[in-house]
Amino acid sequence: MNRIELTRIPFIKNALKSRYPQLAVFIVMLIGYIFAILAGLIGTPVGSHNFSIVFVWIAWWAILILVAVPFFGRGWCAVCPIPLPGEWLQRGAALSPPDKRPKWLNLRVPKMFRNIWLQNISFLLLALFSSVLLTTPNITGIVLAAMLFAAIGLSTVFERRAFCRYLCPVGGFIGLYSQTAPIELRIKDKQVCVTCEGKPCYNGSSAGYGCPWDVFPGGLTKNTYCGLCMECIRTCPHDNIAVNLRPFSADLAKPSTRMDEAFKAFIMLGSAIIYAGVLLGPWGAFKDAAYNVSSNSWFIYAIVFLAIIFVILPGLFMLGILNKKNTLPLKQRFASLSTALIPLGLMFWVAFSLSFVLTNASYILAALSDPLGLGWNLFGTAHAAWQPMFTSILAPAQTLALVGGLIWSARTAQKAAGEVKVSPIPVIIYCFIATSLMLWLLL
């Protein structure tokens, strides 16, 4: 498969090797993040006029799902401020490794948690409360602060970035969809790694830290767990790490066999369908149920939400791939074939987010001038009227995204089915029905 090594370009290589450009972006992001927490806690309770809601759930979400994840994979994780304070505390430094590192517990995360089930649960918790989270500034402020403190707490107990790797609700789906991105970090030559002494990319050296994501870069075959922190570029003494441009979804050629990753695909697919129905659909009763947290109707909503994700969607998928003649375990076929849902889910989120973001993007201008809703007018745009944007291209763009996702999934299903020696047809039919449902909900 064709790859173009971006790190051959001296400007890119130097910018990635040096800690200063990344630190500068980190500091801006951290200030923005802390401001979002404060705005959520002390700003106006009107969500559409509060920086925390408008910048996190509209501006950041739009950039993340429409640009960062599809084109840069875990690019957001490379500049995300959430793990920073904990990591600086853990390392006792904000830049290169210090002579003496602080004595934290540095425990290894117990084996039973070294998977993405906790990330699946944390995402579902946010998803179940999302109607409130997306509209109530102080809840958004509390959740953002809780993520920051959880990352700090885990950094003082466990080694490396335990929060990112095993708990972050955002990191789980970014990792899943990063496999489709046309960018990767990989070693250049396996043989160099075999003879490399001390493996500083994993164990660290005076030049840099061992992989914060607990990945051995020499063995990387997919993007899922590489946070693109660039430490291994700094530590590898043999200049054996490259950042490459590559074809889209290259990682999906080798399907996963892990059930936690398979269920992540169902969680993301199901959540996109449910959100499209509840948040954008014409059914007021569903919306009321989702908003009235702790009411009886919310409990029914939560049960239906979980049933769709854990029973109905995987159950129908399983029925489709049952084949007594196939000798491979059903679990393996299930996990491998669910790879086809990754591009489908990503494009469902793109289509859903286009509605959500274009309808609400005009709030960004007003919030920029008056981020706390206190009557300021910093840039003269505080009174910009709400107005949906690009309404004429919304439906064609969504249709294109969904149909494109279906074709992409069908191709992925063909490859995955080839690996486990089954017919791709049931998976393609499944994807077709899911896409038709999403088209009906959105258009």
Chain contacts with ligand SF4 (rule: CB under 6 A) = 76-77, 80, 82-83, 164, 168, 170-171, 174, 185, 187, 192-193, 196, 199-201, 211-213, 215, 217-218, 220, 226-232, 236, 238, 240-241
Of the two residues 86 and 373, which places its CB atom closer to ligand SF4 in the complex? 86
Residue 186 phi, psi dihedral angles, 5° rounding: -145, 165
**CB neighbour burial string for 337-358, b if at least 16 within 10 angstroms, e if fewer:** bbbbbbbbbbbbbbbbbbbbbb
How is 51-86 classified by DSSP, letter by letter?
A: HIIIIIIIIIHHHIIIIIHHHHTTHHHHH-STTHHH
Of the two residues 154 and 442, which places its CB atom closer to ligand SF4 in the complex? 154
Of the two residues 127 and 420, which places its CB atom closer to ligand SF4 in the complex? 127
In contact, 178 and 69? CB cutoff 8 Å? yes
Q: How many CB atoms lie within 10 A of CB 12?
A: 13
Shortest gap between Cβ of 130 and ligand SF4 (angstroms)? 17
Shortest gap between Cβ of 239 and ligand SF4 (angstroms)? 8
What residue is closest to ligand SF4 based on CB?
Answer: 171
Of the two residues 154 and 394, which places its CB atom closer to ligand SF4 in the complex? 154
The tokens for 382 are 């505080």
Report the distance separating Cα 225 and Cα 390, nearest Å: 36
Of the two residues 49 and 74, which places its CB atom closer to ligand SF4 in the complex? 74
In contact, 265 and 176? CB cutoff 8 Å? yes
Shortest gap between Cβ of 128 and ligand SF4 (angstroms)? 19
Report the distance separating Cα 360 and Cα 356, nearest Å: 6
Residue 125's nearest CA partner among 108, 162, 158, 150 is: 150
Of the two residues 236 and 274, which places its CB atom closer to ligand SF4 in the complex? 236
Shortest gap between Cβ of 151 and ligand SF4 (angstroms)? 6
SS3 228: coil
Shortest gap between Cβ of 70 and ligand SF4 (angstroms)? 16
Shortest gap between Cβ of 257 and ligand SF4 (angstroms)? 21
3-state helix, strand, coil in the chain (%, to 5): 65, 5, 30
In contact, 276 and 438? CB cutoff 8 Å? yes
Shortest gap between Cβ of 186 and ligand SF4 (angstroms)? 9
Of the two residues 174 and 361, which places its CB atom closer to ligand SF4 in the complex? 174
In contact, 143 and 308? CB cutoff 8 Å? no
Sheet hosting strand 183-187, strand order edge to edge: 4-5, 241-245, 183-187
Shortest gap between Cβ of 66 and ligand SF4 (angstroms)? 16
Of the two residues 225 and 291, which places its CB atom closer to ligand SF4 in the complex? 225
Of the two residues 16 and 273, which places its CB atom closer to ligand SF4 in the complex? 16
In contact, 39 and 372? CB cutoff 8 Å? yes
Shortest gap between Cβ of 166 and ligand SF4 (angstroms)? 10
